[in-house]
Amino acid sequence: MGLFHKILLSFSLLLTISFFNLSFSQQQILEEREPEAATGFTNKRLVKTDNYMVAAANPYAAWAGKNIIEKGGSAIDAAVAIQAMLTLVEPQSSGIGGGAFIMYWDNTAKKLYTFDGRETAPANIRSDVFFKNGQPMKWRDAVVGGKSVGVPGVLRALEHAHAKFGKLAWNQLFVDAINQSEKGFTVSPRLARLIELDIHPGVNEFYDTKQYFKPNGKPLKNGDVKQNPALADTLKLIAKNGADAFYTGPIAEKIATAVRIASINPGSLTVQDLKNYKVIERQAMCNPYRTVRVCGMAPPSSGGVTVYQILKLLERFDLSKYQYNSAEFVHLFSQASALAYADRNKYIADLSFMDMSPIPLITPSYLNQRAQKVGLDKKWEKAEAGQPYYASNVAYDDAYELDSTSHISIVDKQGNAISMTSSIEFMFGSGLMVEGFLLNNQLTDFSINPMKDNKPVLNRAQPNKRPRSAMSPTMIFDKDNKLELVVGSPGGSRIINYVAQTIVNVVDFQLDIQSAIDAPRITNRNDVTSLEKGTSIVELESNLTSLGHEVRVVDLNSGLHGVQIKNGKLYGGADPRREGVAAGN
Q: List the catalytic residues.
A: 405
* CA torsion angle 254 259 261 265 (round to 10): 170
What is the C-alpha to C-alpha distance for residues 532 and 272, in angstroms, rounded to an integer?
Answer: 45
Cis amide leading into 299 (omega within 30): no
Q: How far is CA 139 from CA 33, 93, 131, 169, 345, in A?
A: 10, 18, 11, 42, 17
Residues 6 or more apart whose CB falls under 8 angstroms from that of 182 comprise: 227, 229, 232
- Parallel, antiparallel, or unpaired for β 529-532 and 551-554? parallel
Sheet holding 522-524, edge to edge: 522-524, 529-532, 551-554
DSSP assignment of 225-284, as one string?
EE--HHHHHHHHHHHHH-THHHHSHHHHHHHHHHHHT-SSS-----HHHHHT---EEE--
What is the C-alpha to C-alpha distance for residues 38 and 247, in angstroms, rounded to an integer?
Answer: 34
CA–chain centroid gap for 375, Å, is 30
DSSP assignment of 326-338, as one string?
SHHHHHHHHHHHH
In total, the chain counts a number of residues equal to: 585
Question: Residue 29: phi, psi to the nearest 5?
Answer: -65, -45
> CB count, 10 Å around CB of 281?
14
What is the C-alpha to C-alpha distance for residues 297 and 302, in angstroms, rounded to an integer?
Answer: 7
3-state secondary structure of 98: coil
> CB count, 10 Å around CB of 541?
16
3-state secondary structure of 516: helix
Question: Residue 6: phi, psi to the nearest 5?
Answer: -65, -45
- CA 91-96-102 angle, 5° bins: 110
What is the C-alpha to C-alpha distance for residues 517 and 487, in angstroms, rounded to an integer?
Answer: 10
E strand or H helix at 192, and its extent?
helix 189-197
CB 582, CB 55: distance < 8 Å = yes
Q: At what angle do helices 59-70 and 175-183 cross, to 10 degrees?
A: 140
Which residues partner with 455 through β-bridges?
A: 452
**What does R_g of the chain's alpha carbons equal in angstroms?**
22
